[in-house]
A and B are shown apart, each in its own frame.
Chain A
């Protein structure tokens, strides 16, 4: 017994019985990955960091090589603080992403300042919004038991593409 009557291996499949919700969700989720929201490498590292904290295999199975994140950087995510393969800006984004699932009350000015200085206010806000959505998406995938399916994509979501 599960929450859906059929196995699902994507958000597209999960939400397929509610096209009225799927379409606007796809538009919103796809917009998160535009460059004016936040740099692609920070979004990709943030998405995978949040998924690592949650242990969300369905999210981790989605990879976007074009985001500018190396395989070594992905592999090092569970111990990113000890790794030397990230830039200072990427480390600032990871510090924030790591707190988003369960330690959101612990975010301080020290977390935000380096992001604001490097990205400016609009893209810093964009990164926060994206990380909040990544946390929410992992929760949805986990509770509904979305099955992991390896996907190599240009980006994690696009308006014209099914939601992975």
Chain B
């Protein structure tokens, strides 16, 4: 693992970060941002459920940047006590059944992925419509794809150096979308 950047910024004079490194591929970056914005801000699944799943993904995939980010939308962001619930054993941490079902789907995607067994499928389908399941799954896998780039290109902060950082949710009014 490297926390030394393995790629340069496309913008002269700037220290490399995920956005200015992806600026080497501006059209690809813009198409990703368009898709990610729709998933986050024009979807069916409530912000909180997606944010809990995103943080679970960040923790398990091991992204030192994403785990410290909180997406805020319309003044709403997850509490730090809820953010702390996404550790193993989250079933007993006060999350509701829909949030737990979302985390179980997230775990299926971020672990060693296999076709979900009928029991998990039933649990997820009891809490989400098919359209919502697809949205949540895309939200998670696009997060995985981004985290893999962040991690493999050494764009994470040094451990312990990044404070919790609130960012506008992709596609929200605050981003100018």
Contacts and interface: CB of A to CB of B under 8 A. Distances in A.
Contacts of A31: 27-28, 31
A121 B27 CA distance: 15
A2 interface: yes
A contacts with B: majority SS: helix
B125 interface: yes
A124 B116 contact: no
A136 B21 contact: no
B121 A136 contact: no
Contacts of B152: 96, 99-100, 104, 107, 128, 132
Given A17-B131, A31-B28, A129-B149, A143 B113 contact: yes
Nearest to B137: A140
A24 B38 CA distance: 9
Interface of B: 1-2, 4, 6-8, 10, 21-22, 24-25, 27-28, 31-32, 34-35, 38-39, 42, 61-62, 105, 108-110, 112-116, 118-119, 121-122, 124-125, 130-131, 133-135, 137-138, 141-142, 144-149, 151-154
Given A31-B27, A105-B151, A143-B114, 5 more contacts: A2-B115, A100-B152, A129-B28, A140-B109, A143-B113
